[in-house]
Amino acid sequence: MASISDTYLQLADGNKIPQEGFGTYKVTDPSEMETAIQTAYDTGYRLFDTAQMYNNEEMIGSALRSLNVARDKYFVTTKIAESNQGFQPAIDSLKDSLKRLGMDYVDLILVHWPVHNKFFDTWRAFEELKKEGLTRSIGVSNYTMAHLELLKTQANEMPVLDQIELTPQMQQAPMRRFGQENGIVMQAWAPLARGQMMDNPVLKEIAANHDKTVAQVILRWQLQVGNSFIPKSVHVARIKQNADIFDFELTADEMKKIATLDHYKRVSQEPELVYENDKQYPHHFKN
Ligand SMILES: NC(=O)c1ccc[n+]([C@@H]2O[C@H](COP(=O)([O-])OP(=O)(O)OC[C@H]3O[C@@H](n4cnc5c(N)ncnc54)[C@H](OP(=O)(O)O)[C@@H]3O)[C@@H](O)[C@H]2O)c1
C-alpha cells in the first residue's frame, strides 16, 4: 500500500516533491513546533512548509535538526514576503531565511503573493538563487493564470509549482488543467478549508461510508485530484489522522458529489487585489 512517505509528484525541473506535506502557519511556540515536527516526521511527512511571514523559520530549523536525520531526508519550502520582493531584497532575504533555518539550501522557494511593483525583478532573483544552489526549485504562490501568463513573457524558467487556495469549496479546476498543460504542480494551501467544511452533510455522509473523518475525506479528495497539499495541525492525533488516507478510495460517484460543493468560496484574500495593492490588504476588506 502507498503511504505518505513514498508518494511524490514530479516537478518540471527534474526534482520531486512529496504529494502531502505539513503546514506550519500560526505555529509559533517552539515546544509545540518540536512535538508537531517530530510527530509529523515519525508519521511519514517529508515536506515542511514555512514562510518568512510566519515568524517561525528559526524554530522549524531547530525542530528539524532535532530529528537527527540527514538533510536530504526532508523537503523544506519557504516563501518570500511581499516586503522582501525586488531583486536584491529577495536575494538577501533568502540568505536571512537560510540563517534562521540553519540550512545551506531550501528545496523550494515561493513568491508568497504576486505584487505588481516588483513582479519581474523578484522572479529574476529567484532564477539567480536557483543558479547559486541556495534553492533546488523555484515557484510561486497565489498566482492566477493571468499572473503566470504575464510571468512567461520575461521568465527564463517558469515556476514548477503554484501554491494556491484549493479546497472542495474552491476547486480551481481551470488552474488544475492549466497546471497539467504547462508542467506546473498545483499545491493546495488551507487544504482543509481551515475547518469550514467539517459539518458539510455531503462530506459527512461520505466519511460515514468509509468509517473515516470529514478531514480525511477532504484530504483523500486532494490526493485523488492530483494536487500536492499541506494540512496543518498541532495535535498529535490529527497529524496522524491527516496522513492516514492511503487505505481507502473515493468512488467516482463520491467524487462527483464533492464536485458539486465548488462555490468559489475563499477562506482568505483575493490574489488580484494583493497584486494591485502590492501587499496583503487590511482585514476590513476581507470577504
Ligand atoms: N501560500 C499562502 O498564501 C498560504 C496561506 C495559508 C496557508 N498556507 C500554508 O498552508 C498550510 C495549511 O493551511 P492552514 O493552516 O491555513 O489551514 P488548514 O490546513 O486547511 O486547516 C488548519 C486548521 O484545521 C484544523 N485541523 C487540522 N486537522 C484537523 C482534523 N483532522 N480535524 C479537524 N480539524 C483539523 C487545525 O487545528 P489544530 O492545529 O488545532 O489541530 C487548524 O485550525 C499553512 O499552515 C501554511 O503552511 C499558505
User: Where along the chain do its domains lie?
Assistant: 4-276
pLDDT digits 0-9 by tens, 102-157: 999 999 999 999 999 999 999 999 999 999 999 999 999 999 999 999 999 999 99
Q: Which of 54, 74, 143, 275 is catalytic?
A: 54
Task: List, as one string, the DSSP characters of the chain.
Answer: ---GGG-EEE-TTS-EEESB-EE-TT---HHHHHHHHHHHHHHT--EEE--GGGT-HHHHHHHHHHT---GGGSEEEEEE-GGG-SHHHHHHHHHHHHHHHT-S-EEEEEESS--STTHHHHHHHHHHHHHTTSEEEEEEES--HHHHHHHHTT-SS--SEEEEE-BTTB--HHHHHHHHHHT-EEEEESTTGGGTTTT-HHHHHHHHHHT--HHHHHHHHHHHHT-EE------HHHHHHHH--SS----HHHHHHHHTT-----SS--HHHHHHHTSPPPGGG--
- Measured in Å, residue 156 CA sits from the centre of ligand 1 at 33
Average pLDDT rounded to a whole number, residues 166-170: 98
pTM of the model: 0.97
Does residue 54 carry a catalytic annotation?
yes
- Which residue minimizes the CA distance to atom 39 of ligand 1? 233
Q: Judge contact between 7 and 243, C-beta under 8 A.
A: no
Q: What is the pLDDT of residue 108?
A: 99
In the structure, what pLDDT confidence band is assigned to residue 287 with cuts at 50, 70 and 90?
Answer: very low
Average pLDDT rounded to a whole number, residues 233-237: 98
In the structure, what pLDDT confidence band is assigned to residue 282 with cuts at 50, 70 and 90?
Answer: low
Q: Judge contact between 166 and 191, C-beta under 8 A.
A: yes
- Residue to probe by mutation, ligand 1, list 189, 230, 245, 280, most atoms within 8 Å of CB: 189
- Measured in Å, residue 23 CA sits from the centre of ligand 1 at 6
* Ligand 1 contact, 78 CB (< 6 A): no
End-to-end Cα separation, the chain, in angstroms: 42
Lowest mean pLDDT among 1-15, 88-102, 160-174, 272-286: 272-286
Q: What is the pLDDT of residue 280?
A: 85
Average pLDDT, the chain: 96
Domain 4-276: which topology? TIM Barrel (3.20.20)
